[in-house]
């Protein structure tokens, strides 16, 4: 949705829905100071005046291995956020972001929890539980937004790629791309962009999600007074088990894996490492996607990297560069586009 079409009324409705699902009548919701915007003004007009939005628009750092390279479409997508929190975590944000296509904005929940946390440190289990709570809240809010007609990534995907008249039947034989991302709407949008560019695309399965009983245990932490509740085994992602991914790569003769570092609840680097350690997949290049709060994918694991949000031109350019490098026999680790053959 264009910025001048998004009204203050729509933003207010999005905030109301967010708070309803993020707090569910919890005590923290009472007395909160929540911004209210003039109903008739557009988001563009609101941002042109004094406003409480945090401008998170930044650069789009992109690299092939350890060497930064210029990328077409590198102008940073615009992102504006309100820190509204939830009943278990105060840093979650409502974001209005430019998604993939210039001038196309959607509402999204920024969990603000993709920080690196050493599994051996005290509190790691509690941190995993908190991230799971945030994931549940994010999905509930964005699902409610979609049902209310508020623009989301899911709506963008349906509008752009679920209509046969918009999908090209182009295929690039031998260039099948595998996308791994727990956020399936985000993965499907990227898949649609790549298919329109002529690639065969396979969207891999998301990481494990909790069963209903597990969810009750996770939510119970809200009233546990800080005591750690370990996640049940079924809810703990095991990034070392990548046999299913290796089989998928072999079946579709995958030429490039596009891996979000948030995959399997933040265990994307461990997945990449496991793929590197497997003789059947160690030569398949991996393009890492990361958020602005991550340190960036390790160049020892990823052949290329791109920070989201990004424009469609940026990902297409980087995919092409990575595949070109692979075709020249440089798919191994530490290989950059600028390296001499």
Summarize pLDDT for 80-117 with one digit per residue, the tens: 999 999 999 999 999 999 887 888 899 999 988 877 66
Tally of domains within the chain: 1
Reported as a pLDDT band with limits 50, 70 and 90, residue 12 is very high
We report the CATH number of the domain holding residue 243 as 3.40.50.2300
Buried b (16+ CB within 10 A) or exposed e, 21-48: bbbeeeeebeeeeeeebeeebbbebbee
Decide if pLDDT at 164 tops 50: no
**Predicted pLDDT of residue 295:** 55
The DSSP result for 64-112, as a single string, is: ETTEE---TT-SPPPEEEEE---SS-TT-EEEEEE-BSTT-EEEEEE--
Weakest mean pLDDT among 67-76, 225-234, 245-254, 283-292: 225-234
Q: Is residue 339 part of a domain?
A: no
**Predicted pLDDT of residue 231:** 35
Range of the structural domain that residue 45 is part of: 8-327
Q: Is the dihedral of CA 310, 314, 319, 325 positive or negative?
A: negative
The secondary element (H helix, E strand) that includes residue 289 is strand 286-290
Q: Is residue 136 part of a domain?
A: yes
Summarize pLDDT for 184-211 with one digit per residue, the tens: 889 999 999 998 888 889 999 887 654 4
DSSP 231: P
pTM assigned to the model:
0.58
| Mean confidence (pLDDT) of the chain | 76
**Predicted pLDDT of residue 37:** 94
**Predicted pLDDT of residue 68:** 42
**Predicted pLDDT of residue 27:** 66
Section 111-125 average pLDDT? 78
* Whole-number percent of the chain with pLDDT over 90: 27
Weakest mean pLDDT among 66-70, 135-139, 156-160, 227-231: 227-231
**Predicted pLDDT of residue 15:** 95
Section 306-324 average pLDDT? 85
Reported as a pLDDT band with limits 50, 70 and 90, residue 271 is confident
249 backbone dihedrals φ, ψ, rounded to 5°: -65, -40
**Predicted pLDDT of residue 41:** 92
- 3-state DSSP assignment of residue 202: strand
Q: Is residue 1 part of a domain?
A: no
More confident of the two residues 119 and 296:
119
Q: Is residue 291 part of a domain?
A: yes
**Predicted pLDDT of residue 319:** 87
Q: Is residue 333 part of a domain?
A: no
Section 269-285 average pLDDT? 86
Q: Are 39 and 7 in contact (CB under 8 A)?
A: yes
d(CA 158, CA 162): 5
Q: Is residue 2 part of a domain?
A: no
Q: Is residue 149 part of a domain?
A: yes
Summarize pLDDT for 15-65 with one digit per residue, the tens: 999 999 999 876 666 667 788 999 999 999 999 888 899 888 864 444 444
Q: Is residue 341 part of a domain?
A: no
Summarize pLDDT for 208-230 with one digit per residue, the tens: 654 444 344 334 434 444 333 33
Decide if pLDDT at 66 tops 60: no
């Amino acid at each position: 949705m264009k910025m001048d079409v998004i009204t203050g009324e729509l933003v207010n409705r999005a905030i109301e829905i967010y708070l309803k699902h993020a707090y569910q009548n919890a005590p923290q919701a009472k007395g909160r100071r929540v911004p209210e915007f003039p109903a008739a003004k557009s988001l563009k007009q609101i941002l042109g005046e004094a406003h409480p939005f945090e401008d998170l628009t930044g650069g789009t750092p992109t690299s092939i291995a350890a060497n930064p390279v210029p990328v077409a479409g590198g102008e940073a997508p615009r992102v504006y956020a309100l820190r509204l929190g939830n009943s278990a975590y105060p840093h979650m944000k409502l974001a209005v972001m430019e998604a993939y296509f210039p001038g196309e904005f959607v509402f999204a929940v920024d969990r603000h929890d993709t920080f690196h946390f050493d599994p051996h440190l005290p509190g790691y289990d509690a941190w995993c539980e908190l991230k799971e709570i945030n994931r549940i809240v994010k999905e509930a809010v964005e699902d409610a937004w979609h049902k209310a007609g508020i623009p989301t990534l899911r709506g963008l995907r349906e509008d752009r790629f679920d209509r046969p008249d918009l999908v090209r039947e182009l295929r690039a034989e031998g260039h099948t791309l595998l996308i791994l991302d727990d956020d399936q709407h985000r993965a499907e949008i990227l898949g649609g962009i790549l298919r329109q560019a002529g690639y065969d695309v396979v969207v891999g399965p998301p990481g494990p999600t909790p069963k209903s009983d597990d969810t009750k245990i996770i939510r119970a932490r809200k009233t546990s007074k800080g005591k750690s509740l370990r996640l049940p085994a079924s809810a703990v992602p095991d990034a070392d088990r990548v046999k299913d991914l290796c089989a998928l790569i072999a079946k579709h003769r995958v030429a490039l894996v596009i891996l979000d570092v948030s995959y399997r609840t933040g265990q994307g680097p461990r997945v990449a490492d496991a793929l590197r350690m497997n003789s059947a997949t160690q030569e398949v290049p991996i393009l890492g996607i990361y958020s602005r709060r991550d340190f960036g994918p390790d160049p020892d694991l990823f052949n290329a990297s791109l920070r989201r949000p990004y424009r469609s031109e940026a990902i297409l350019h980087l995919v092409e560069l990575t595949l070109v490098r692979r075709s020249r026999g440089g798919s191994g680790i530490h290989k950059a586009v600028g390296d001499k053959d």
